[in-house]
Amino acid sequence: MATYEPINTCLSVEVHHMVCNLGLEKVDSADLKHIVTVSGQVCWEAITFYLCTLDAEEQDLDYVESVRLLGPVCKTVHSYLLSFSAKQFDDQYGLWFTWTNNTELFLEAFEAIRSSQHTAIALSLMKLTACLERALGDVFLMIGKDCPFLLRDLLASQELATVFGQSVMNVLRVFLGSPRSLNLRNILWHGFAAPSEIPPMYSSMLLLLTAGLGQILRDALPQITSTLLHRPYFRLTQLEDLAVFPDINEEAVAVAEDFIGKSDFVVEIMLPYWREALAAYKNQRYADCVILLLPQLEMGLRKFFTTVNDCPNRLLTAESTTLYTTFDEMLAKYLDNDYVNQLPLALGDPIMEILWDLLNHQEGPRIRDHLSHGELDLKVFPKEMASHMVALAVVLLHRCCREGHGVATENECLRTIIGSTHSYCSRFHPIGRLKQQLRHCVGSLQKWDAIPRPPLEQERPGSHHSGPTAQAVHSVLIEELVSNLINRLQPVYAEELSPSPYLLTEAQLHLVTKVLDGHTCTLYCPRVVLEVVALLRKVASQCQTVSEQIMSGAAARHRQWLSKSLRSRQRQNYLRMLNSIQYLHPTFSLLTLLITVELLNGQMMSEKASSECQCYLKFLKSILQYTENMATYTSPDKNKWDESWDLTQRMLLKVKNFYSKWYNVITDCAT
């Protein structure tokens, strides 16, 4: 790594002036009795008096002048709150935080202000802004629909202006709502602000404003027909899938502590955040650990990103007219100037996939989004997520460790953590989710051999698919299709079923499992590939449904058979089900193999002509239609076993015809 000049701030000149200096320019203080009454009521008119606008219609705020004029108010509020003890503050204002559904968090923020520890104040401010955003969203939903995702859009909404008043919302916008404002939430959550750069008076001011919002809401609620309901927290249910690294023990934390002073990944002015994050982990404050680490991982990646892409100007906060360099930009394939982003090449696919899984994929934990928008219950934050974050930090710290300062390679703990990333494949990309679905489907189909049967099967019902000739034709067709599918795989996989007979469904399912264990590239998939994967996922889902229905249905009928509670017609239908299992098992085993093969080969669709792609997608949709029909036919209220035979035979012939034509097209193109 190159040697860096010391970084004194990660805030641009304009942002640094706005945040660190502007509100402190006026040396006079505001009169407390005009801001808050003796009983603790917030005097909003006195606060909104200091707002300035850029036009006569008062549509656009003058953020610079508003911050300058509100500075003395913030200083007075800060001194006012410091005069309280913790109990006095709770007695005076605890009631007015209940509307946020997290009074305890705001009381902790007050304790942080009293501590005068910059890192604690910054941490509490990140938690406060996240909780406030969530609470404001709950208020929005009392009279509106589709709560805005971005805080700035929420603060600018007409719905909140209707409840709280436009001038009140404008005050919040000065502190939180625009890149041209103080923008406290974003510069903290994106890792731009060092602990000592945020004046504590702004945290005090937001505490008082939040209490003041509660007071307004008390008077507004009787005028609103709906009730204030708090949305349930998002649950991190993906922790088992996210398990990549070994559990973090004291030795691993010690490795991280050693690295933070030796790695160019860390900006020196941010060291207090790193130290406090690791201390929080050791003290089992797992939410605090992750809240502190996430912005620093973003800051460290931003530093690395600007180095490998030779764009040092993007290390600082952007102005309102310039793109912020955030996780979204750093993990993208191209830069904003259409040059290829060099960060993926520098980090390697496994680490990039870990980052995408953690932060971006819709079915993943999207931990930064959920945390920063107040969607997680911090009281029950899982240790597993904090362990994952600490281990990922160790990997990135090690990657950027300065020459001569590395930890000895024989350190077993470090080797284990680093080695855990080498074979990582995305769990939460649609391809990763499809692989998981297929594994579940294979596991379900492997249980069919254990489906219970009557001790004595008598009087097999006659049907047009029960004879040996029909079953033999079906077996030959399955064998031919399996052979074609295996030929589409790489030779190393094709050998898996040789010399085993193709009709051994166990061998097919074993092959599927082995193929799924291989690495499949997920970064920056073309749209047509994602369309293919989406169809395959729907097919896999229907296959799983059919398998579960057949197993549960067979088990239920078997219990009824043993208890002799089946009527004659039900008994005949049960025997048809058992007869149908003989051809459905190899059929659905074939489908899992087909999905697996098309998962691999579907990635080549971006190279095909549009007409070929449409033909291919039409074929996959026909397979989906078959599985959807089968899910209906095998449901407990249908039991259409004879019809399922006809449907299955037509589907298999369609697959055979498609692959014959498809191979001819490929051969013609090759010649």
User: Contact, 407 vs 414, CB < 8 A?
Assistant: yes
**pLDDT of 342 higher than 70:** yes
Give residue 670's pLDDT. 40
Residue burial 147-179, b: 16+ Cβ < 10 Å; e: rest: bbeebbebbbbebbebbbeeebbbbbbbbbbbb
* Rg, C-alpha atoms of the chain: 31
**CA 209 to CA 242: how far, in whole Å?**
39
The secondary structure element, H or E, covering residue 416 is: helix 412-419
**Overall average pLDDT of the 158-177 stretch:** 95
In terms of Cβ atoms closer than 10 Å to its own Cβ (0-12, 13-18, 19+), residue 237 is exposed
Q: What confidence category does residue 1 fall into, taking pLDDT thresholds of 50, 70 and 90? A: very low
**Overall average pLDDT of the 408-414 stretch:** 71
372 phi, psi to nearest 5 deg: -70, -20
Q: Kindly compute the dihedral angle of the four CA atoms of residues 388, 391, 393, 399, in this order, to the nearest 10 degrees.
A: -140
Other beta carbons less than 10 A from residue 618's beta carbon: 10
337 phi, psi to nearest 5 deg: -95, 15
**pLDDT of 527 higher than 60:** yes
**pLDDT of 573 higher than 50:** yes
Give residue 316's pLDDT. 79
Q: How far is CA 658 from the centre of its chain?
A: 37
Domain positions in the chain: 13-223, 239-419, 430-670
**Overall average pLDDT of the 34-55 stretch:** 93
Residue identified by tokens 């093969």 is 597
Q: Can you give the length of the chain in residues?
A: 671
Q: What confidence category does residue 499 fall into, taking pLDDT thresholds of 50, 70 and 90? A: very low
Out of 19-28, 184-193, 216-225, 486-495, least confident range: 486-495
Q: What confidence category does residue 2 fall into, taking pLDDT thresholds of 50, 70 and 90? A: very low
**CA 274 to CA 260: how far, in whole Å?**
7
Residue identified by tokens 């994929």 is 361
**CA 374 to CA 397: how far, in whole Å?**
28
**pLDDT of 602 higher than 90:** no
Residues ≥6 apart with Cβ < 8 Å to 619: 654, 658
Give residue 669's pLDDT. 44
**Overall average pLDDT of the 437-458 stretch:** 87
Residue burial 450-459, b: 16+ Cβ < 10 Å; e: rest: ebeeeeeeee
* Tokens linked to 183: 């923008």
Of 40, 127, 113, 118, whose CA–CA distance to 79 is shortest?
A: 113
What proportions of the chain, in percent to the nearest 5, are helix, strand and coil? Answer: 65, 0, 30
**pLDDT of 162 higher than 50:** yes
Pure H helices in 144-225: 151-155, 158-164, 166-176, 184-189, 200-220
**pLDDT of 566 higher than 90:** no
Residues ≥6 apart with Cβ < 8 Å to 500: 507
**CA 551 to CA 450: how far, in whole Å?**
9
42 phi, psi to nearest 5 deg: -80, 130
In terms of Cβ atoms closer than 10 Å to its own Cβ (0-12, 13-18, 19+), residue 581 is middle
**Residues of the chain above pLDDT 90, percent:** 64
Mean pLDDT of the chain: 89
**CA 372 to CA 123: how far, in whole Å?**
12
User: Contact, 277 vs 299, CB < 8 A?
Assistant: no
Return the SS3 of 53. Answer: strand
Q: What confidence category does residue 508 fall into, taking pLDDT thresholds of 50, 70 and 90? A: confident
* Tokens linked to 166: 């436009």
**pLDDT of 520 higher than 50:** yes
